[in-house]
């Protein structure tokens, strides 16, 4: 059951970003987190950065309702079919956003040293103005934005257990985002990024 909490539009020029701090109820959030931890086929791929190949600092998995692959940072991912837990989350996200998503990139950050550097979700298979619906479970993490051209334009927020962050419009064209490392002693965070792959 959806927990109707506040909806926060972030004040970011050249972007459309909306944050739902408590998209799922506490009880449902806890159950979904455990289900995802146990049922997603987590894997660790190698990534090449600045000419050096290293293990990616998080575990990932790709799920979809089709067979279309997704490629980023030199990694080619091929999807598995949505499982019941992902479909349950997907349906609620689609009801709220009024968009139908084809794919979900799942990320498992095992501790504060797992991270995701500055990037935008602007791969060609996502289309001109992609909508990304990002759901978070587990440990709270700080999420950063910065404008591509104006270094004075920055934004950060804490992604709560059970929250939803929507990025749409020209957000990926004009802004970068990251999930930085932290020295805090924290546990797992699961992030599901629903998207439409053409």
Domain assignment of residue 141, given as a range: 8-41+52-193
Inside any domain, residue 46: no
Q: How far, in Å, are 45, 47, 71, 145 from residue 53 at the CA level?
A: 10, 5, 16, 26
Per the structure, how many domains does the chain have?
Answer: 1
Gap between the Cα atoms of 135 and 18, Å rounded: 12
* Mean pLDDT of the region 111-115: 96
CATH assignment of the domain containing 175: 2.60.120.590
pLDDT of residue 4: 55
Inside any domain, residue 90: yes
Inside any domain, residue 63: yes
pLDDT of residue 46: 86
* 6-26 confidence digits (pLDDT tens): 899 999 999 999 999 999 999
CA 44, distance to chain mean position in Å, is 17
* 49-74 confidence digits (pLDDT tens): 778 888 899 999 999 999 999 988 77
**Considering all CA atoms of the chain, what is the largest pairwise distance in Å, rounded to the nearest integer?**
47
Inside any domain, residue 198: no
Inside any domain, residue 165: yes
**pLDDT for residue 152 is more than 60:** yes
Gap between the Cα atoms of 23 and 192, Å rounded: 13
Inside any domain, residue 47: no
- Residue 139 · residue 186 · CB < 8 Å: yes
């Amino acid at each position: 059951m959806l927990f109707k909490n506040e909806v926060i539009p972030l004040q970011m020029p050249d972007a459309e970003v909306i944050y739902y701090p408590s998209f799922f109820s506490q009880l449902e959030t806890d159950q979904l987190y455990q289900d995802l931890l146990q049922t997603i086929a987590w894997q660790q791929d190698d990534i090449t950065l600045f000419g050096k190949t290293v293990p990616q600092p998080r575990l990932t998995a790709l799920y979809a309702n089709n067979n279309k692959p997704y490629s980023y940072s030199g990694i080619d991912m091929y999807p598995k079919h949505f499982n019941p837990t992902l479909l349950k989350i997907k349906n609620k996200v689609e009801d709220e956003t009024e968009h139908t998503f084809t794919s979900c990139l799942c990320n498992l950050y095992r501790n504060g040293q797992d991270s995701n550097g500055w990037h935008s979700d602007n791969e060609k298979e996502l289309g001109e103005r992609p909508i990304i619906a990002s759901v978070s479970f587990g440990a709270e993490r700080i999420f950063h934005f910065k404008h591509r051209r104006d270094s004075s334009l920055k934004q950060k927020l804490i992604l709560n257990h059970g929250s939803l962050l929507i990025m749409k419009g020209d957000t990926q064209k004009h802004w970068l985002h990251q999930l930085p490392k932290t020295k805090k002693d924290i546990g797992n965070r699961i992030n599901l990024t629903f998207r439409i792959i053409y």
